[in-house]
Each structure stands twice: as C-alpha cells, then as structure tokens.
Amino acid sequence: MAYDYDLFVIGAGSGGVRAARLAAMTGARVAVAEADRVGGTCVIRGCVPKKFMVYASEFSHGFEDARAFGWNVPAATFDWVKFLARKDDEIARLSGIYTTNLNKAGALLMHGFAAFTGPHTLKVSGPDGSKEITADKILIATGGHVHRPDIDGIEHAITSDEAFHLRTLPKSILIAGGGYIAVEFAGIFAGLGVETTLAYRGDNILRGFDDDVRTHLAGEMEKRGIRIILGAAHAKIEKTDKGLVSHFGDSHPPCPTETVMFATGRRASSGGLNLKAAGVKENPDGTVCVDKFSQTNAPHIWAIGDVTGRLNLTPVAIREAVAFADTVFHDKPTAFDHALVPTAVFSQPPVGTVGVSEATARHLYGKVDIYRAKFRPMKVTFTGGRDQTLMKLVVEEKTQKLVGVHIVGPDAPEMIQLAAVAVKMGCTKAQWDDTCALHPTAAEELVTMREKYVPNEVAGRN
Ligand code: NDP
C-alpha cells in the first residue's frame, strides 16, 4: 500500500520536532500534527517561560546585593504587564524558529488534533476541517498536561498554565505541591513580592531528592520569606468575598490567600488519541508502553517524551528522538541510556543533581562515603547575607566511584551539567580530586572536599 507519508509525528514539542526534522533530512516524507502552538510544553508553557520568570524575580535580590556593593539603587518597581509582553514576544520568536526549522528540513506542519482511526490511518481535525491521512510509520510525541486532583473548589485554583498569563500579580498565593513546579513557582512569586505559602502533603519538599538537599532548600526558601506548611493535604478550597481559603481538614488551620495554585503533577497526553484503533497498549496511568527503542507493541508505531513517562525532561525527549531517528531512519539501533541524567530545579536558590541520593546509594551499594560542604559564598559574606550553599558528593565505598553529586546554591544547574560529564564517565573520587581547583569560585569547593562526612545518625552504620 502507498501511504501519504513515510513518517507521521503527533505533537510538535521538543521531541516530536527533533524526530521529524531528523527523519525529513534523510529524504523521508514527513508530516507533523500539532493542535496548539509549535514548541510544546517546554517552549510554550514550561521550562522557557518559567526560566524568564525566574530571571525576573531574581532581580529583587540583585538590587539588595547591588546596594551592599555600593550602588545607589532607588526603590525599584516591577512592571508585570511589561514583563509578560516581552516574555510572550520571546516565546513567539522561539516557536517561530521551531516552525522554520521544520520547514527547512522539509517536514510538513499540519495544524490540528490527530487521532488514530486504524493502525496506519489518522484523522487530523483542525481549524480548516478534518482530514484523513495514512502513514507507514507513526511517532507519538504528545507530551503531558497539568493534572488537577478532584477536591471541592478545585475550579477556583490556577495551575502553571494560567500562572504564565495572570493579568495582575496577586498579593498572596498558596501553592499546593512539593515537586519541581511548586518550589520553582514559590521562588518566582516570592521574588516578585507576592506573599507566598507552599503547602505540601508529605514530610518534606522534593520527594526523591537527597534528604540533605530537601532540608537545605526548604531552609533557604524560608529565609527568603516563603512559608512552608508540611503534612498539609487540601480538603477543599472555599471562595469568599475576600479571596480563597484553603482547608486542610484537622491537620492545619485554614489558610486565606488571594490565589491558590495547584502544582500536583502532570499526566500523559494520550487521551483522545484513540490508541485502541491502532492496537497500541497504554499503562494504567495513561502513559504509552514502549521498549528501550521507544517502540510500542505495534511494530510501526513509536512513542517518545513525557507521553511515555520515563523521565519527563526536555533533553531526554530530544535524546529519545535522536535515538528513534538513528534506529528507524539510519538503520542504527540505538537506545537512549536514561541513567545518570542530570537535573535541575530552578528554585531560589536552585538545585543541581546527578546520580543517586545518599539514601538510594546506601540501598544500592551498602557502604558509601559522603563528602559535604555547607558555606556562605563570598558574594554573600560581602553583602552580609545569610544564604548558604550546600555541596554533597556520594561515593560508593568499594569502587570509590562518584555515584551522586548534589548542589543547592547559585549556579548549581550550570555546575551540575559539567559534573555530570565526570559522573557519567565513571570518575572516581581520586580522579575528581586530581582536578585542580579554580579560585575564587564556589565550584572549587567541589574538588577540595577531603574529609568524609559522618552525620551523628549514621555514625557506626557506615
Ligand atoms: P512532580 O511530580 O515533580 O510533583 C508533584 C507534587 O504534587 C508532589 O509533591 C506530589 O506529592 C504532589 N501531589 C501529587 N498528587 C497530589 C494530590 N492529589 N494532592 C496533593 N499533592 C499531590 O510534578 P510537577 O507538577 O511539579 O512537575 C511535573 C514534571 O515536570 C516533573 O516531574 C518534572 O519531570 C517536570 N518538570 C521539570 C522541571 C525541570 O527540569 N526543572 C521543571 C518543572 C517540571 P508526593 O511527593 O507526595 O507524591
């Protein structure tokens, strides 16, 4: 059978666009369907606009620092509307680059929502009506979307989707959740002068991260005026004349704020794709089942990125796209290695981490050596501030390999990108230490930690 396309990609986010371009560059006939703007979560309503908001909010601390360094900074004011317009221009520019790159590679962009009608057939419904297409191979790269838990009054809460477009900044906000998005937006709003409360149902923020990182970050966020309420699960959100009130059952008193934002996780965007028509299997949480080559149970259909729920990070989706193109269009079977992927939380201060936490390392390897430094960076000592940086190395005792590097402090994401090179190469602590320090930096602390750290509670266990 002659198909309309050699490859049909559903979703023009970071993963879908990369795969479509790489496939089209081999001469394959490629089309991509996108129901929204080109760029996906990362560019349109995720990493990119979030980072602009982090930059905007960090200036408030920057002005204080500048005064301490001798600058006469008059009382600074922030123009949210002006910032939003500039941010939206930049997002439109980036989305345009994605579209241009698709065109340049020779891939056709179709505006519309694609759903399977059979194993090789899809219906694309867009502003100009719907169209049936056929494709030899199909790639699902539809990403994820915000999830709102089913509680009373949830319709009054915003999510990160709306936080990027608020008409005015609220005077106060309560953010529910303790993951990436919750801590990042808590820092953003607090930095922009919004009275900020973070309410998390668990015993500490950032579950899954190293415990020292979690405790240290929570402390630093509190120093910046963010109120953190732990063990607080929403029972309901009440709307009153004065704003919203978050109720937590008997565990905490009600908390009134102007705005409530839910950052309680995302779900795979697989609903509506009619995967059944193509016989593609899903997991119970809606993620698409794939093997290490991103191939589904239907041999001509693949899935990459957040819709597979493996590791929901933009660079991972891109690497899965490259591996897909190598496997399918270059006859070079490639499986992306999901181990030792560095990650950053753009909280204030930010977190950078690669490898495993101390607790996971003890579980995996038994005995581990821990190196830890906590200090005020020189800029902070000059301004008389209280912010502290945390650096921690986790080393497997037997092999002396670095299995985890964790940093909380200014530029942590930049540092961890390079630390990840060494960790991924299987660097030992001795090799790490062999690298001469670079002075004066905060990063030099990383290669000058000689004394093992034995906290009281683990002394005798290690
Ligand atoms: P996360 O999975 O990181 O965190 C979700 C948070 O919500 C957790 O604290 C979770 O608690 C809590 N939660 C889940 N369900 C409920 C519920 N029903 N009621 C109350 N609390 C609940 O999700 P995010 O939304 O923060 O981010 C989504 C994903 O996007 C991340 O996993 C990450 O992969 C990606 N991302 C990456 C960023 C980066 O690289 N810097 C930035 C932003 C997002 P508990 O821990 O108890 O389960």
pLDDT tens string 6-59: 999 999 999 999 999 999 999 999 999 999 999 999 999 999 999 999 999 999
Looking at the structure, tell me whether residues 30 and 135 fall in a common domain: yes
DSSP for 296-312? -SSTTEEE-GGGGTS--
**Distance from residue 344's CA to the centre of ligand 1 (Å):** 14
Give a yes or no: residue 364 inside a domain.
yes
> Smallest Cα–Cα separation from 28: which of 113, 172, 166, 135?
135
Q: Using a pLDDT cut of 70, give the percent of the chain over it.
A: 98
Structural domains counted in the chain = 3
pLDDT at 419: 98
Q: 295: which DSSP letter?
A: B
Average pLDDT over residues 175-197: 98
Looking at the structure, tell me whether residues 130 and 176 fall in a common domain: no
Give a yes or no: residue 457 inside a domain.
yes
- State which residues form the domain around 217: 154-264
Do residues 41 and 144 make contact, with C-beta atoms less than 8 angstroms apart?
yes
**Distance from residue 206's CA to the centre of ligand 1 (Å):** 8
Looking at the structure, tell me whether residues 137 and 164 fall in a common domain: no
Looking at the structure, tell me whether residues 194 and 248 fall in a common domain: yes
Looking at the structure, tell me whether residues 36 and 124 fall in a common domain: yes
Looking at the structure, tell me whether residues 140 and 274 fall in a common domain: yes
Looking at the structure, tell me whether residues 34 and 141 fall in a common domain: yes
pLDDT at 460: 52
pLDDT of residue 231 exceeding 60, the answer is yes
Looking at the structure, tell me whether residues 253 and 272 fall in a common domain: no
Do residues 82 and 90 make contact, with C-beta atoms less than 8 angstroms apart?
no
Out of 150, 160, 180, give the residue to mutate to test ligand 1, the one with the largest number of ligand atoms within 8 Å of its CB.
180
Q: What residue's CA is closest to ligand 1, atom 4? A: 179
pLDDT tens readout for residues 406-435: 999 999 999 999 999 999 999 999 999 999
pLDDT at 128: 87
Give a yes or no: residue 336 inside a domain.
no
Cα 183 to Cα 23: distance, rounded to the nearest angstrom: 38
Looking at the structure, tell me whether residues 71 and 96 fall in a common domain: yes
Cα 369 to Cα 139: distance, rounded to the nearest angstrom: 44
**Distance from residue 10's CA to the centre of ligand 1 (Å):** 25
Q: What residue's CA is closest to ligand 1, atom 2? A: 265
Out of 181, 206, 234, give the residue to mutate to test ligand 1, the one with the largest number of ligand atoms within 8 Å of its CB.
181
Ligand 1 pocket list (CB less than 6 A): 149, 176-182, 184, 200-202, 207, 233, 263-266, 312-313, 343-346
Give a yes or no: residue 334 inside a domain.
no
Looking at the structure, tell me whether residues 27 and 101 fall in a common domain: yes
pLDDT of residue 120 exceeding 80, the answer is yes
pLDDT tens readout for residues 340-373: 999 999 999 999 999 999 999 999 999 999 999 9
Residue 454 binned pLDDT confidence (cut-offs 50, 70, 90): confident
Do residues 34 and 12 make contact, with C-beta atoms less than 8 angstroms apart?
yes
pLDDT at 456: 65
**Distance from residue 309's CA to the centre of ligand 1 (Å):** 13
Looking at the structure, tell me whether residues 347 and 423 fall in a common domain: yes
Instruction: Determine the atom of ligand 1 nearest the C-alpha atom of 147.
Output: 25
Q: Please tell me which residue in 145, 147, 234, 439 is annotated as part of the active site.
A: 439
> What average pLDDT is seen over the chain?
97
Q: What residue's CA is closest to ligand 1, atom 3? A: 179
Identify the CATH number of the domain in which residue 196 sits: 3.50.50.60
Give a yes or no: residue 338 inside a domain.
no
**Distance from residue 197's CA to the centre of ligand 1 (Å):** 17
SS3 (DSSP) at 7: strand
Q: What residue's CA is closest to ligand 1, atom 14? A: 264
Average pLDDT over residues 442-448: 98
pLDDT of residue 457 exceeding 70, the answer is no
- Catalytic, 439? Answer yes
Give a yes or no: residue 69 inside a domain.
yes
pLDDT at 462: 43
Cα 116 to Cα 273: distance, rounded to the nearest angstrom: 6
Looking at the structure, tell me whether residues 178 and 302 fall in a common domain: no
Pairing status of strand 129-140 against strand 301-303: parallel
Average pLDDT over residues 322-339: 98
Strand partners, 76: none
